[in-house]
């Protein structure tokens, strides 16, 4: 293997409290054993003398404000050479750290960092610099993951998925939150297949299905003779995901002891198979997902606070389907085409009444529930146009009343369901005309608009109905 040229651009006049930045040149030289590495250091921009074309740049900026300009100047000098940001003073707010990825960096580390974190990033970024052209890589991604499955035009949805290409550039842990059925695993796969790890495994793990006594064995594996039934060596899920991405779904369901073991792995990226005397360094990106408010779980002492901060470095929140009502017709059409093809049916469409019915429903199961309803309708209907009676929905009013709870809560939920359904049907009838809809409801226009905002109903959605 030939000589590597690394460039350290240190623009931060402050010393590093943990001294990891001071040790950076030595750590970089030791990063790839038995390989000749030339490390150049600069504390000024523009560079006094143009260095040899670097294979990797380490950037230590003084503040978030200067980052875009500095990255731009480095790109002018070094083209698409990977840039790794090293942050310590003044970068302790989550917004600063998350924003760093959005400003042109390929990855970043915050002090104090572990040696293994630096080594893994150097190895990955060097591989990234030797990747094929962008067009070739894009074709590879499209062949492995269909981005068209991420359907939606609403502002909330685009704000969420717009982060995917940017977050895919980093190896930092991501936390994906959202209600059940909003598409968290789909987003995790999109992050993986748009990243430099796209040719490696994507391993989803349902944490809720892992028994507490088997957690360590399932994740880290064991060697022969580690316990009574260990007749042979078995790799764990972490080893299966080597070089790729592991999704920890329902991470909030892990027991206290499992959280401790996961935290230790996240800190050092090292694990020891059961019975083994040696630790193994894992090159795996962790993406966690939860359908509950993890911070609330921390306050309730159900999730460790330090684990929350480890998982929540970068985050994506997926909105519920009821808050992106304009996407419902698009999703319904998408699933109709998908299942019409799967079950060898001709072109299918929803009648205006059927579309009105699905728009009025609040979709507690979100996109997953909508997909199931459309698939069921395609299977059980022989006509090419689906009617309202073909849309089989749960009677939420009855289900809410049957639940054990206070009279006040049951009443509030029933009223909310009625209001949403009434407003949606009214807007459908009047094709989104607020004046006519408010007049029929016998409410003044301003009060009617307040109700629409309460349920995130956009009149433009209904103006498109035919």
Per-residue pLDDT for 253 more than 50? Answer: yes
CA 267 remoteness from chain centre: 20
Going from N- to C-terminal start, the domains of the chain cover 4-129, 151-317, 321-394, 403-466
Mean pLDDT of 238-242: 92
- What rounded mean pLDDT belongs to the chain? 82
- Residue 135: pLDDT band (50, 70, 90) is very low
The pLDDT tens digits of the residues spanning 314-342 come to 999 999 998 888 899 889 999 999 899 88
Judge whether 287 and 245 are in contact, CB under 8 Å: yes
Other Cβ atoms closer than 10 A to 36:
10
| Candidate from 238-247, 392-401, 407-416 with smallest mean pLDDT | 392-401
Mean pLDDT of 229-243: 87
| Candidate from 15-19, 91-95, 322-326 with smallest mean pLDDT | 91-95
Which strand (E) or helix (H) includes residue 42? strand 37-42
CATH T-level assignment (fold) for domain 321-394:
Helicase, Ruva Protein; domain 3 (1.10.8)
- Residue 48: pLDDT band (50, 70, 90) is low
The residues, ordered by sequence, that sit 6+ positions from 262 with a Cβ below 8 Å of its Cβ are: 219, 248, 254, 307
Higher pLDDT, 302 or 137: 302
Mean pLDDT of 87-106: 61
Per-residue pLDDT for 70 more than 60? Answer: yes
> Which CATH superfamily includes the segment(s) 4-129?
Response regulator (3.40.50.2300)
CATH T-level assignment (fold) for domain 151-317:
Rossmann fold (3.40.50)
Given this chain, do its domains 151-317 and 321-394 carry the same CATH topology? no
Higher pLDDT, 3 or 386: 386
Mean pLDDT of 161-172: 88
Higher pLDDT, 137 or 443: 443
Question: Would you state the pLDDT for residue 138?
Answer: 40
Token pair belonging to 18: 């943990």
Per-residue pLDDT for 91 more than 60? Answer: no
């Amino acid at each position: 293997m030939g000589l590597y040229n690394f460039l350290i651009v240190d623009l931060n006049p402050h010393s590093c409290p943990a001294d990891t930045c001071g040790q950076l040149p030595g750590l970089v030289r030791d990063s790839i054993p038995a390989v000749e590495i030339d490390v150049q250091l600069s504390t000024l921009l523009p560079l006094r003398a143009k260095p040899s074309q670097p294979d990797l740049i380490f950037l230590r900026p003084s503040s978030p404000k200067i980052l875009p300009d500095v990255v731009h100047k480095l790109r002018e000098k070094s083209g698409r050479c990977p840039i790794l940001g090293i942050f310590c003073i003044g970068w302790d707010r989550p917004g600063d750290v998350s924003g760093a990825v959005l400003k042109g960096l390929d990855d970043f580390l915050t002090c104090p960092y572990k040696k293994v974190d630096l080594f893994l990033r150097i190895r990955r970024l060097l591989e990234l610099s030797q990747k094929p052209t962008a067009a070739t890589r894009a074709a590879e991604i499209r062949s492995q993951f269909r981005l068209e499955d991420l359907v939606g035009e609403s502002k909330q949805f685009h704000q969420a998925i717009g982060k995917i290409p940017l977050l895919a550039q980093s190896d930092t842990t991501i936390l994906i939150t959202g209600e059940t059925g909003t598409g968290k695993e789909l987003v995790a796969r999109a992050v993986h297949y748009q990243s430099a790890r796209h040719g490696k495994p994507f391993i989803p793990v349902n944490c809720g299905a892992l028994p507490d006594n088997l957690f360590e064995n399932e994740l880290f594996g064991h060697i022969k003779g580690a316990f009574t039934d260990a007749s042979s060596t078995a790799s764990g899920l972490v080893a299966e995901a080597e070089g790729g991405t592991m999704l920890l779904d329902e991470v909030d369901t892990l027991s206290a002891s499992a959280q401790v073991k996961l935290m230790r792995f996240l800190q050092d990226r090292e694990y020891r198979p059961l019975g083994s005397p040696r630790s193994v360094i894992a090159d795996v990106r962790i993406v966690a997902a939860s359908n509950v408010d993890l911070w609330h779980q921390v306050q309730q002492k159900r999730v460790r606070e330090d684990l929350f901060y480890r998982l929540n470095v970068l985050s994506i929140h997926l909105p519920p389907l009821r808050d992106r009502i304009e996407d419902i017709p698009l999703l319904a059409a998408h699933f109709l085409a998908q299942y019409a093809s799967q079950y060898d049916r001709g072109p299918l469409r929803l009648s205006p009444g059927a579309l009105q019915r699905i728009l009025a429903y609040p979709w507690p199961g979100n996109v997953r529930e909508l997909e199931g309803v459309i698939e069921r309708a395609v299977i059980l209907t022989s006509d090419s146009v689906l009617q309202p009676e073909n849309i089989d929905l749960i009677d939420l009013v009855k289900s809410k009343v049957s639940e054990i709870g206070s009279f006040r809560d049951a009443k509030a939920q029933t009223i909310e369901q009625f209001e949403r359904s009434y407003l949606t049907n009214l807007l459908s009838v009047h094709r989104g005309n607020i004046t006519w809809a408010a007049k029929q409801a016998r409410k003044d226009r301003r009060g009617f608009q307040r109700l629409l905002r309460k349920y995130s109903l956009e009149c433009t959605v209904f103006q498109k109905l035919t």
